[in-house]
Amino acid sequence: MSKSNCSDCTCRLANEVGQLKAIVNAQSRTLAKLVRQMKEGCKKDEEAKESTLCGLNPCLKCLQPDILYHLGLNTETTDFPKVFGDVRFVCMGGTPGRMENFAYYVMQEIGLKINAATKLRNISEAGQRFSLFKVGPVLCASHGMGCPSISILLHELIKMMYHAKCKDPVFIRIGTSGGIGVEPGTVIISSEAIDGRLNPAHEILVHGASVQHASQLDESLADEIKMCHDPCKDSYEAVIGRTLCAHDFYEGQSRLDGAFCEYTPEMKKSYLETLQSQQVKNIEMESLAFAALTSRANIRGAVVCVAILNRLNGDQIKTSHDVLSKWEKRPQELVARYIRKVLYHNDDDDESEQPEDEAEAGAGGAGDTQKAPAEEAE
Ligand code: R2B
Ligand code: URA
């Protein structure tokens, strides 16, 4: 055997030993946790009887089965508590591809692994509308564009949390936006969502009448995510500010480059300057529905978006694809750090769950990651 073959082989063996070590470590952590739970008289199982969501449709319990049509799932063919009962974070973003990448990224960041030959499965493939991936306690979903689209997804994800009896799930939207007076590439964590009239409410028409739902976001969650930004190490800024949610990309955001435009550049300038004077930091298209629906259900919610241009300087997005994809990772990075922190540093009972180093964090819940999407959601 040549020298280089031999060192390749040693290297592969060392890798495999490392991976096995990680799996054994993760299993002993899980075992220790289970023993602790048994000692506590299965208190956790008792607590898991209902979800913590509030204000939901009282008829939900009568729907047998409940069909989550756009997710391609129903309560008869999927055991929701078993498959989704451990979900603690629901992350959503515009496109299926971005959310699939985020699922792999978060998997690595929270130290989970799947077999190299296995792929994460899109659990919602049958619905043909949204993509949905599960990585241990993290669900990653794509929501499409605009409030009607994210609203359908949220109704079905909230029902999923209810049927699965999830406890205090945190919902986070990660996305892109147009900045107002901020350097492109800045990450904006929304303090609240407002509409084009600067009202903090999501208006829907029910039976032809206007119904307004408050669009507040969880302030402490915004602060916790902001704290995951390191101004010394991160090469970009992260700020907390108000987010204007428009129902359109062009006229609704006062662009001059849409197919139609019935206002002047001066009117646009004046509107955007008014927004800036009212601490609006960015414009996007989903935060109103996201904030309204999560807060109605008593779910802590946050919106974390990168600004891909400064709207005070123009309308068209001229930044290269490569730079845009680098910027799009910034909200993902902060949110993954937040999730990692909650999972490994906040649980007072969980010293043993902390990853000792990157390799050992690797196997925590690997089987879980593989099974939930690939097998249990069938
Ligand atoms: C941000 O980007 C999309 C429009 O390009 C929209 O979904 C949003 O909120
Ligand atoms: N998304 C928006 O909704 N607006 C922008 O200007 C950029 C991204």
Q: How far is the CA of 56 from the centre of ligand 1 (A)?
A: 28
Atom from ligand 1 closest to the CA of residue 176 = 1
Cα distances from 361 to residues 87, 110, 228, 311, 336, in angstroms, run 19, 7, 19, 42, 14
Write out residues with Cβ below 6 Å of ligand 1.
Answer: 94, 145, 175-177, 249, 284-286
Other residues' Cβ atoms within 10 Å of the Cβ of residue 84 = 26
22 belongs to a structural domain: no
Question: How far is the C-alpha of 28 from the C-alpha of 42, rounded, in Å?
Answer: 19
- Provide the mean pLDDT of the chain: 87
287 belongs to a structural domain: yes
244 belongs to a structural domain: yes
151 belongs to a structural domain: yes
| Residue bearing the CA closest to ligand 1, atom 3 | 145
11 belongs to a structural domain: no
For residue 128, give the DSSP letter. Answer: T
Q: Residue 78 — left, alpha, or beta (φ > 0 → left; ψ -120 to 50 → alpha)? A: beta
Question: How far is the C-alpha of 36 from the C-alpha of 41, rounded, in Å?
Answer: 9
- Please report the pLDDT score of residue 8 as a whole number: 64
The alpha carbon of residue 135 and the mean position of all alpha carbons in its chain are separated, in whole angstroms, by: 12
- Mutate which of 195, 247, 284 for ligand 2 pocket (most atoms within 8 A of beta carbon): 284
Read off the CATH number of the domain in which 255 is found: 3.40.50.1580
- Please report the pLDDT score of residue 29 as a whole number: 62
Span 105-138, pLDDT tens digits:
999 999 999 999 999 999 999 999 999 999 999 9
Q: How far is the CA of 175 from the centre of ligand 1 (A)?
A: 7
12 belongs to a structural domain: no
Q: Which residues, listed in sequence order, are joined to residue 187 by a DSSP beta bridge? A: 238, 306
Domain count of the fold of the chain: 1
Q: Which residues, listed in sequence order, are joined to residue 92 by a DSSP beta bridge? A: 141, 173
Span 185-220, pLDDT tens digits:
999 999 999 999 999 999 999 999 999 999 999 999
99 belongs to a structural domain: yes
210 belongs to a structural domain: yes
The domain containing residue 115 runs over which residues? 52-343
